[in-house]
A and B are shown apart, each in its own frame.
Chain A
Amino acid sequence: MFKILKYSFYDLIRSRWSYVYFLFYLALGFVLLFLNNDVSKAVITLMNVIIVLIPLIGTIFGVMYYYNSREFTELLLAQPINRRSIFMGQYFGVAGSLTLSLVLGLGIPFVLYGLLRSNAIFDFTLLLVTGAFLTFIFVGLSFVIAISNENKIKGFGYAVLLWLFLAVVYDGLFLMSLIIFEEYPLDTFSLVATALNPIDLSRILILLKLDISALLGYTGAIFKKFFGTDLGFLVSMAILLLWTILPILGLGHKAKRKDF
């Protein structure tokens, strides 16, 4: 698996898009820091951008990489290599290089600005960790979608729909259900509904750590009571981990049975 990982990783590192992605974060980091002049505020703005962008880029990159390397995959399948290693290697190659772009792209401007001396370092690290999780989750989901669909257009369509659903539609449905069922106690419901969507979960996790939950009013208080505690934090991390592992298992399962 590590050989495949190595080649996928090198292949991607040399690709133009990895640089575009890296430079985008680099520029974003610098612009935000010098416009805000405040690390904490920059982290909040950054969160709003990356919480939506990371899943989108992860999804599109994942699907694109899978379809583009199909011929190469077929070449590898005839070699004495375990099937699962081929797909796992490619998956970790894509997710790994995207995460590297994110960490370096944002890390460089923040470190230069003096992050290490500020007290926002924990918030910033959390931002990068959830960003890495989101990358692995959405690349994984997009690989599962791509391997299940021979048709490129369909695969792309489903992947983008999935992103749209989790990033936009889910929140809409969530809010609507809160309004419709406002007569009922909704504390548990909203906690569970938030935890089930990795994008919402990441957002809440970062917001609460940034200590601006007062802005969220009553719901914020409830969320703070759960997610703000150490237990809540651990549970959220566990859920993110679960979200990461499930697509990987799905990918292994699909890879074992597929005909090429």
Chain B
Amino acid sequence: MTIEITDLYKKFGKNQVLKGVDLTIDEGHIYAILGPNGSGKTTLIKSILGMVIPDKGHISILDKPIKKDWRYRKQINYLPQIANFPPNIKVKELIHMIKDLRNSPSAEKELIEHFGLEPFLNKKLSTLSGGTKQKVNIVLTFMFNSPLIILDEPTTGLDPRALIHLKELIQKEKARGKTILITSHIMQFVQEMADEILYLLEGEIYFKGSIEKLLEQTGQNNFEHAIAAITTTGNHV
């Protein structure tokens, strides 16, 4: 079991974001975390990463509780939602810095080539376009070999060619036995990539299962419509 979450609660001010999430994530699959805006997707991911500290509940990663620990993050590659980097440093320096901080072997050369980032290596991050920043973001995420990969809106700003590269990359990592968590609003991307769907609604897991199970349960034959219909059919798991 890669991730085990029991009874997770989190409140921001008066806003109860997570209301008792129970979840187990198994090794070697691609999970898509879906849900309407404000349903707690990012909070859930940030709790797993230890960036948000839960009010109540328990999280274990690779069978170790994460509370008051930070070393477990060596097992996680995280792609943040909005790639906001320090503006005054060059792409090359940023990659070098993250490598230095993580102190583990990395395979950035291949990725840089893959996404055609060579011409940008000596440019400052503030001068890059949104899509190029996202490519840098992807390189930073995939250059380490960790058993758990978390991608928050990975497709943002990517051109079709980069998107194909990204999909290949995700499939390759899955073939290596990695566990991958993805959030996305692009249903076509989710349908193509995900083995399992996790649907969050108002801070709870509303649905967990394969795409086939979802289609069956909602009585729809189109994935996008099934997601839209998920809350109205009322088949709470």
Interface residues of B (CB under 8 A from A): 12, 46, 49-53, 70-74, 76, 78, 80, 84-86, 88-89, 97-98, 100-102
Answer whether A72 and B86 are a contact pair too, CB < 8 Å, given A79-B102, A81-B70, A260-B46.
yes
A7 at interface (Cβ–Cβ under 8 A)? yes
A252 to chain B, nearest CB (A): 14
State whether A11 touches B86 (Cβ < 8 A).
Answer: yes
State whether B51 touches A78 (Cβ < 8 A).
Answer: yes
Chain B residue contacts of A79, Cβ below 8 A: 73, 98, 101-102
CA A26 to CA B55, docked complex, whole Å: 51
State whether A80 touches B12 (Cβ < 8 A).
Answer: no
A241 to chain B, nearest CB (A): 29
**A-B pair number, CB within 8 angstroms:** 57
State whether A75 touches B80 (Cβ < 8 A).
Answer: yes
A83 at interface (Cβ–Cβ under 8 A)? yes
A230 at interface (Cβ–Cβ under 8 A)? no
Partner pick for B80 among A3, A7, A78, A80, CB 8 A cutoff: A78
State whether B80 touches A259 (Cβ < 8 A).
Answer: no
Chain A residue contacts of B98, Cβ below 8 A: 75, 79
A229 at interface (Cβ–Cβ under 8 A)? no
Chain A residue contacts of B89, Cβ below 8 A: 11
State whether B86 touches A78 (Cβ < 8 A).
Answer: no
Additional A-B contacts beyond A79-B102, A80-B72, A259-B46 (4; CB < 8 A): A71-B85, A74-B51, A259-B12, A259-B53
A257 at interface (Cβ–Cβ under 8 A)? yes
CA A82 to CA B69, docked complex, whole Å: 8
CA A14 to CA B98, docked complex, whole Å: 19
State whether A78 touches B84 (Cβ < 8 A).
Answer: no
B169 to chain A, nearest CB (A): 19
State whether A80 touches B74 (Cβ < 8 A).
Answer: yes
Q: Which residues in chain A, 1-53, are within 8 Å of chain B measured between CB atoms?
A: 3-4, 7, 11, 14-15
State whether B100 touches A77 (Cβ < 8 A).
Answer: no
Partner pick for B84 among A71, A76, A260, CB 8 A cutoff: A71
CA A14 to CA B101, docked complex, whole Å: 20
CA A174 to CA B85, docked complex, whole Å: 46
A-B contact pairs, 23 of them (CB 8 A): A11-B88, A11-B89, A69-B86, A71-B85, A72-B85, A72-B86, A75-B84, A75-B98, A77-B49, A77-B50, A78-B49, A78-B78, A79-B73, A79-B101, A79-B102, A80-B72, A80-B102, A81-B73, A82-B70, A257-B53, A258-B53, A260-B46, A260-B52
Chain B residue contacts of A14, Cβ below 8 A: 88
State whether B101 touches A74 (Cβ < 8 A).
Answer: no
Chain A residue contacts of B84, Cβ below 8 A: 71, 74-75
